[in-house]
Amino acid sequence: MNRVDTQLKDLSNGQQLGPEENVEEKVKPSKRSLSRRSFLGKSLAVGAGTIGVGLLTGPRTAEARGGLTPGDAALLRFAAAAEILEADFWIQYNELGGVQDPEVPGGTGNPAYTAALAVLDSDMAQYVHDNTDDEITHHQFLNAYLVSKGAAPANLDAFRTLMGSTATGVNQNLIGRRLTNLTQLTVDTSWWTRYRDDSHNPDLDPNHTFPQAVPTLNVNQHTAIPRTDADTMDPNFLQAIANTAGFHFPTIEQGGTSLYPSMALRATHEEALRILISIGPTETMHFQTWSDKAGNAPPLTAVDPVTGVSVTFPDLNSPPFGGELFQTNLIMPEPCPFLDRSLPICSIIRPTQTQDIAMGVVTFLTDMGLFIGQSPAFFALLTQLAQAADHARHGRG
């Protein structure tokens, strides 16, 4: 076993082999969740000793060999943390609706949920599997690279406390040991029109409101996985769950699509830049795949039998939708204003502004409900990681 493997052995987030073996048994689930809208104020009040939880070292240890600056290390560490979180919820999706094989750790599959996902595309199980595999390799590579340079890796193991699904197909050993919550999501689907609008760019028009593709997903809380086997009994509601997942997939991946080029603009070391601009396009491939599949979600209205919340998936090709902003087969980014309105419009990834981009990602994921049930220490650590990444600037640590 080489030096990197040795140092990573106890720092693995548990996603490769026997993840249940790496969860800290002494950490108990939080008895009350933190308000998603107010986590910043509360997390900053948490003591510095709680923030680290032994997971981060001081800035001196981030001064890595080979020209990697502390700023570069902070960028890669935040990327690793984001990928750990992505891997956590993609593993949950794969356990229930993906291909079950040794390549991706998981459960045994839920036939009813898998069939509902297949309504969006017959290859959904394979796509879910491959996206999961990608995110696992991303955080494992990023952490291994950081350790190889003498920098602290990202480690969120202490916060694997959320319940997750108990439906048929999940990994029983991971019930109550999740980082993310897929059962209370508020999904922002404005990316749908943002990538089809040829007149506006959030970098140039930060106050422009892009219409939602599925307005009812952007209010209240919705589950994207069957919480229990009871959620698979009503075919209409189960399809609504699968449709929610279908729109959640690209909502998440468009965040990574913007995050990586934005962070690359802050990198100093050539190798750090190479890593960021190499992983970023994979996230973009994920986004385009999922945006295509979301367009196949069948129109329906369903009411959650547990919460009483209603959701409506519209026919996006018919009035009052339709047209270039909503047409389902327009999955390539429409050109839009870029850098300056005096220049011709250009097809680009957007947004790519760099001011507080990492903190923006944390806020976006928190407002989505992905972390409902997490502890104040969890939010404090994410805030610390994000602020360190946002502090990085090209040419300085």
Residue 13 lies in a domain: no
Q: What SS3 state is found at 211?
A: coil
Return the pLDDT at 7.
Answer: 43
**pLDDT for 394:** 80
Mean pLDDT value across the chain: 86
Between CA 287 and CA 290 the distance in angstroms is 5
| 22 in any annotated domain | no
Question: Are 342 and 12 within 8 A, CB to CB?
Answer: no
Domain membership flag for residue 4: no
Work out the burial of residue 320: count CB atoms within 10 Å of its CB; fewer than 13 is exposed, 13-18 middle, 19 or more buried.
Answer: exposed
Which pTM does this prediction carry?
A: 0.86
Residue 244 lies in a domain: yes
Q: How far apart are CA 147 and CA 3, in angstroms?
A: 9
Helix (H, G, I), strand (E, B), or coil: what is residue 340? strand
**Residue 364 belongs to some domain of the structure:** yes
Residue 397, domain member (yes or no): no
| Neighbouring C-alpha atoms within 13 Å toward the C-beta of 271 | 12
Please calculate the CA angle 350-356-359 and round it to the nearest 5 degrees: 100
Q: Tell me the per-residue pLDDT of 4-42, one tens digit each, with 9 for 90 and over.
A: 444 444 443 333 333 333 333 322 333 333 343 333 333
Residue 1 placed within a domain: no
Residue 251: both structure tokens together: 């909502």
Asked, for residue 17, whether it belongs to a domain, the answer is no
Which domain covers residue 144, as residue numbers? Answer: 27-391
Q: Which residues pair with 185 in a beta bridge?
A: 222
Domain total in the chain: 1
Which residue numbers in the chain have pLDDT < 70? 1-67, 395-397
Using DSSP's 3-state secondary structure scheme, residue 222 falls into strand
